[in-house]
Structure 1
Amino acid sequence: MTPEDRQTLIDRLRMPLRLTFAGLWAERLARGFWPLWSLLLAVLALLSLGLQDHLSPNGLLGLLALIGVLALWSVWYGWRNFRRPLKAEAMVRLDASLPGRPLSALADTQAIGAADAASRAVWQAHLRRMADRAASARPVAPDLRLARRDPYGLRYIALTALVVALTFGSVWRVASVTGLGPGPAQALIGGPTWEGWIQPPPYTGKPTLYLNDIDRVTFSVPVGSRVQIRFYGEVGAISLAESVSGRSGSDLPAPSEPVQDFTIAQSGSLGIEGPDDRVWNIVALRDTPPEISATDEVTREADGRMKLQFTAKDDYGVTSGRAVIALDLPQVDRRHGLTIDPEPVEPVVLDLPLPITGNRAEFTETLIDDLSKHVLANLPVTVALSATDAAGQTGEGAALHITLPGKRFFDPLAAAVIEMRRDILWNRDNAARTVQILKAVTHAPEGFVRNERAWLRLRVALRDLDTRTDGLTIEQRDAMAETLWDIALMIEEGDLASARERLRRAQDRLDEAIRNGADPSEIEELMQELREAMDDYMRQLAEEAARNPDSQAGMEQEGMEMSGDQLQQLLEELQQMLEEGRMAEAAELMEMLRQLMENMQVTQGQGGQGGPGQQSMRDLAETLRDQQGLSDDSFSELQNGDGQQDQGQDGQQGQEGQDGQQGQDGQQGEGQNGQQGNRGQGQEGVGRNGQGQGLADRQQELRNRLGQLNGSNLPGAGSQQGEAGRRSLDEAGRAMDEAERALRDGDLPGALDRQADAMRAMREGMRSLGEAMAQDQREQKGGGQGEAVGRADPNSARDPLGREPGDGARIGSDRNMLQDEDGDRRAGELLDEIRRRQGDLTRPESERDYLERLLDMF
């Protein structure tokens, strides 16, 4: 290794070596003197938070003495444990961080073989390799971990205290410690001096003022600001003259007292009399009480909740607020159950909502609460709003005289039950009157009480109330009130007729609001109420169908059925007209909807021949046939490519699938006619809406139909076969949903795959359900009649191969195929044609894949 190479290596190692050496210094200083700097941080944090202002001079001197002792111990501890690092130690640490310790190797000399040229060449190569490794040296970071030396984390506690002090305190307050000894001016020239601070209340967020730096003659501070003044030097050389504290007599200390501490209570002057006279005129800014007021009238939400918007403001921010709701007895209509004096009713106290973030000096919020169950609901009350600030001052707004909103009950019986509930809560002496009235109401329930469960619960409650001749306790009264509330809700919301009445009333109110030109907010509320009433009515229809599986519950007008989706579409159209301000058109549509609902009736009739289970199975079979037709149309769409077919092609395709059946029977069943019509309509939709959209709409309709059938009265509930069939139908529904998405995305091959999966799952589900239905019928009528029970309806449609639906509404049966040679021949011809086309390599690959799936399926 040449001297030039050695010098170059030394230059490269100089900076890493210096940094490693500095790291050794930092590491050993931290290990030795960590108690000292932790103590300094803790002391600085305490002084910044103003601890010295809360201690007497003697107490502060004692604290400083303790700090001095701890500081001396920390210095001794650090000096004892500190060991000055050497450059050689830095060299060793840097060398240890490199592979093979190249720095030590470069300092070695060749012990043997120095006279051999080959041995010297090997040695020089070794030195060059070590020099290359040494040139890649990086500074070694110091090890500043002190967990083993500070197991209690005192250094972190001191650091956290300093961060808190810098956030909420001020480092300028540290200077107040100098008031214990002679000031800087006295130390330099031996004359008297002073220092002063004005600290506003913390909730104002204003900074502390240092009087020595204020050159203005007049300035303002909030009332309640704390003034601290310290005099240094000869006692009596400097004195205080002030008129801002409002102190007098014995409360007023000597003007020359070295420490002056008081609070500003009023505007006035503050002066320092002495060698350096200073006078200030202080304007005391009073903290005014907060103001609060309601910005709008109290309104009622659709579910009966009270909604009150209010505005509050304060100089420095509102900290809390509340609304006190009390009975306005002079405004109560004292009739019926309210003629006697009420029992004491505690006012309702509600906490007002405050902004979670942001400034609370001025804000607008909305109080929303549900007091429908309270005795004051729907009675005249007074609402007193109040707000409190950080100074403890409370401001009250003007009292509101309102009728406390509550839940509205449209059913007459429910309203009567709620009124009797109110009378019991008003005064327990109304119990006998309540029993008498409700007994009269429920004496002849036919035609008046439509909910039998509610009527039974009401009779039980009346019997319980009638037996308590010795009066009701408060606990019994509250329990009875809760029971009557539940009964009223059951009457109001749990009956189809009452739901229909609620819908009619919601329509009438919205119609009247539109015609009278109500404001948009009221119309929006009534529109939401109409939607809820419509949803409730449709839900009651579904529950009625579930309770009566042998009947069909539907909505129809002059033989035309209407679905819930069509009604929702009408409501959306009405909503759009209202938003666009087309009130005349909205009124006409509202009138049409009202007449439509008046002419609608809930119809109940017997299901199809063979019972509801077979009717559901026939509906599933028709859905399967429609899914097969949709799959055929999807394949035709894939072949055509452009997605356009004229109406003549549609009719030809719809007729092609029926030739075999017409040749045999000379007629078509009702189900096939419906299928043919659906296909024609679907194909026209494809031509109008673009490639795949009409097919996707038909797929969506089939998926919805399957979902309704799967939730209807399918046979085999609770049996193993029935549950297996329902799982297969759920799988078919998922496959239909995926096929719909594929059609909307234009992925026809993927849609064909999903449609094939859906048909396979439907066949498996129908097979399981058919077995479950046959088993149920054999158990009900005995084994001798089991064969006739599961027989299909003779009027049902045939499948494309001329077969009648077999037992359990399965598509086709082996018995029919064996007895019909013509059907067997046609089936063979169809299979041969499918095999021929699938083996034709000139046909598109997608078509041959589809034909292969057909062969696997059949």
Structure 2
Amino acid sequence: MRHSSDRLAEAVEGFARPIRLTLWAMVLERALRAFWPVLTLAALSFAALAFRVQDVLPPRLMLGAMLAVVLAGVFLLALGLRGLRLPGMDEALARVDARLPARPLSALSDQIALGSDDPAARAFWAAHQRRMMQAAQAARAQPPAPDLAPRDPFALRMTGLAAVVIALLFGAPEHLFDPAQTGAAPGAAEAAMGPSWEGWAEPPRYTGKPAIYLNRFDGARLELPEGTRFAFRFYGEPGAIAFEESVSSPAALPVASDDPAGLLRRDFDAVQSGRISLGGPAARDFEVEILPDDAPSVALMGVAERRADGKFAQPFVATDDYAVLRGQARITLDLAGISRIYGLALAPEERPDLVFELPMPFSGSRADFSETLVEDAARHAWANLPVKLELEVEDGRGQLGRSEPYQLTLPGRRFFDPLASALIEARRDLLWNRENAPRVAQWLRAITYLPEGFIRREEVTRMLRMVVLRLEAGDLSDEAVADLTETLWTLAELLEDGGLADALEAMKKAQERLSEAIRNGASPDEIAKLMQELKEATDNYVKMLAERAQPEEGPQFGRQQESQQITGDQIQQMMDEIQRLMEEGRMAEAQELLDQLARMMESLQVTQGQGGEGDTPGGQAMRDLGETLRRQQELSDEAFREMQREFQQGEQPGQSPQGEEGEGQQGGQQQGQDRPGAGQGGTEDLAGRQRALREELGRQQGLLPRMGGEAGEAARQRLEDAGRAMQGAEEALREGDNSAAIDHQADAIEALREGMRAFSQALAEERNREQGQTSDQAQLGGEGMQGQAGREVPRDPLGRAQGQGDRIASEREMLQGEDIYRRARDLLDEIRRRSGERLRPEDELDYLRRLLRQF
């Protein structure tokens, strides 16, 4: 009977290669486990020799260290041999088999134990063997797994490996077996034995190249940058070492050294290619080639750009062999390109050139870089005038590189307000030549003569008149001119940025400035800033309308026509569309849409106080609530003034003198007369007036039209809150606690505002529900249909009366009439007009475009 191992060998004969490779891997891992200490010692020794420790240690100490290393290596090697146990083929097979499911390699060596005479059992066993053979096909060689971490808890093996890597990178392994050169370096010790020398070649620091110790330099040819500094030191008797060089100009002469270890030195800069020869026991000849250092160069990249804040941005590119050290931009006035008219007709006063430091990169190479010069010259006398720009850069050797003079208009801040722009021009004339002072004073006096309707801010008028007086006084010093021009600049900024009376005027002004910028070809940065200002002004205007929510104090926002409503979101979409068109360069379309926005806002202003909700019960209720809000604000102001008087007189709240009480009663009589529920004869105190105002609010709540929806419910709730706050204020006033009364009155004012806002929203929702329904009078008409003003109602190209958007059909036959072709043309024009209205729904615009493509 054959041994089981024989059967196993026969079974796995087809898998010998992965098993053999696994066997060698196991041999390697056991060798590493046994010999890692001696290998670590060998790695550390190699690193020490590669770093030339033999040149530093004395010979005896070096010999002792080598002997200690050898003895330690023999000891560690013996320990490794003692613990080494080589693996067998069975162990390799077991490792490969352990990585396979169901250990198929071992299963192949098994024999059937029972049922060998049974054909069914033998067939089952054969199927099992085939399945195991298929599973054994996945056998692969296993890598070594030395698992040294538990055996080396201090990671000494990693230290040795790191030392070898560092030695290969930074050491001198190629000179590993060279004899020690202790004492071979020249210096004081060698000088005692005879004449010697030392030399260094140090390139300029800006080149970034390292210094060279010539005594250790093996070659005879040196390639060095221009300006390299050579330094030689000679030891021994003077003249014992011959020295010649032809790289400096003039040739360097021997100089006595302050170093007590030496006698002579020679230091010089290399400016040309040549030779350096040294005699004596360590004679050397160096062939020196000087690499030329070219001058730097600088050039402009594109045209200077004016930014929205008035600063100008000029991109440029600079290059050099090594690095650009610094640079500057010089701006000079181009008199030849200036139209010498008006204030510029006189000769300009002498002014120094404008000089700006060029920005340098903070990191990276300065040999080739591009940057952008950003400076603010908006307040300079040459702003927006023709100038010449020249860039200059300097390298480490002091060489200069200049760009070609470039003619441009010095960018400065642009003022779109006409008066502000005129003040800036007057300021420029005064800076150009102070002899323009009489002319500027005459012009300023003319515009301040009748400023009403022309200068919107009274403080601007007063300041301009003061400027006129100082200009007419004469004898303008430099300080006076600087002060006057600064005043004119401040006034221009005030007119440009903050000279608008209210949010509506600010929105109009922002529209005009944006339109002016589009027509004048402003930069994208300027247009983006003006577009942002228009958005902010429009948002402020909408916010003002929402806060007031009073039809008589503002336009009926949300109603442009009876058949068209415009929301704040639609206005925002329109402004976004304007910005998109400008970014795409479609300025004509952007200007057209901007004009449409301006007309829309103007129409919103025209509806102010004209019919609409004011003629309806809802409109009257809004006016009554607005009046109640105003009276509550006045009452709160009086309560606050009463509290101030009490504190000023040193009395406690609620103990005001009789005289002031009578005065307050008189004020209440004046403000309370002709008001419903204001009291009798105007003799009531603040608490009585608060009670009357609360009763008036209750009466108005009873007259409010019933509005459904969340907005109507919110309006009623907020008005009830206002009534409760008024009652609290009344009780506090009766108790003499003016501070608590003012707090309750503030709550009442806020609740009234919120209630009016919610009520206005409820009215708008109610109007939207009723908008699609047409009155009987509007449906009865025909050709002779008349409006309330006795004129014919205008009709659209389909024959429908305008304002009846819910009616699809027309009461007239489209193909009747004398000129059906004209009607078709009108219909096509109407389709084109509606397709150009970007506020219409996208589905409708798509339908109109398809109609235009068809016809």
Please give the TM-score of this superposition, normalised by the length of structure 1: 0.48
Q: Which has more helix, going by share of residues? A: 1
Higher radius of gyration, 1 or 2 = 2
Please give the TM-score of this superposition, normalised by the length of structure 2: 0.48
